[in-house]
Amino acid sequence: MYNEDFNFKAEGIMGKNCLIIFYLFLALFLQSCSSVGTPGSSTTQPANLDKAYFKVRLTTTEKGVEKENNGKTIIFSTINGYKKQRLLTQYNVIGDSYISATVNKTTDEATYKIDSIIKYKDHDARLYKHINYTVAGRQQSDDGTVVEQMVDCKGSQYSGCLRKEHIVFTMNQQTIEQIVQSYSEGSQDKWRYTLSPETGKSYSAYLFVAEITALVEAVNEIKRPQDL
């Protein structure tokens, strides 16, 4: 009788230990799963989105112009810089932005433009072309140009068509240089602007101040030999 009781208790203790080990293993397994990103989730932002990061990713395109008074142009762009990635649903708007500068090598004149790519789901086009921003404490507004629209209505009976709008607006050199003046080495500060549609809520976009600074420095470097 004593041996039977002892065996019963021993089996009970072993059973509890097995359960404890099982739950510990399960907890470790779930923890490891939670650390892996799900498909479609946003990617981790690089650690150092500073001026150096954007400078090495600048694209350069040189174009010859037939008219002598126009000369040749060189285009710098941050199109290959940091790209934001978010999951698009029927309730949100996602976007990406980059800045470019076109420099006339004969006159040294630089033209800056900002490109915004907006994606959303809706039955109707919204046209995010009204621009608002603040530079050096001054609020400014402008109308951009929708240079491209893409529509995909496949399987969108309820959520609306998948729409993409490419909006472009220009900024003068003085305004751009005022933004650059706020840059400090290693900073990851953002310069924000708002795109407002004809109907619906506005979308808040941004460029990194480091991104704009890297572009302006590249423009100034191409001008410098001609100024000497």
Decide if 41 is inside a domain. Answer: no
Place of tokens 């072993």: 14
Q: Are residues 22 and 125 in the same domain?
A: no
pTM recorded for the entire structure: 0.73
Q: Are residues 70 and 175 in the same domain?
A: yes
Residues 6+ apart with CB under 8 A from 76: 58, 59, 60, 100, 101, 103, 215, 218, 219
Q: Are residues 29 and 130 in the same domain?
A: no
Domain that holds residue 193: 51-227
Query: For 142-160, what is the mean pLDDT?
Result: 88
Measured distance CA(96)–CA(103) in Å, rounded: 24
Decide if 45 is inside a domain. Answer: no
Decide if 62 is inside a domain. Answer: yes
User: Could you read off the pLDDT of 113-146 as tens digits, one per residue?
Assistant: 999 999 999 989 999 999 999 999 999 999 999 9
Per-chain mean pLDDT for the chain: 81
User: Could you read off the pLDDT of 40-88 as tens digits, one per residue?
Assistant: 334 455 668 889 999 999 999 988 754 554 568 999 999 999 887 677 7
Decide if 31 is inside a domain. Answer: yes
Query: For 95-116, what is the mean pLDDT?
Result: 94
Q: Are residues 2 and 81 in the same domain?
A: no
Q: Are residues 106 and 167 in the same domain?
A: yes
Please count the structural domains in the chain.
2
**E-only strand ranges, 144-200:** 145-152, 161-171, 190-196
Query: For 217-227, what is the mean pLDDT?
Result: 77
For residue 201, how many other CB atoms are within 10 A of its CB? Answer: 9
Q: Are residues 115 and 6 in the same domain?
A: no
Measured distance CA(11)–CA(7) in Å, rounded: 6
On the question of pLDDT at 29 being above 50, the answer is no
Q: Are residues 70 and 172 in the same domain?
A: yes
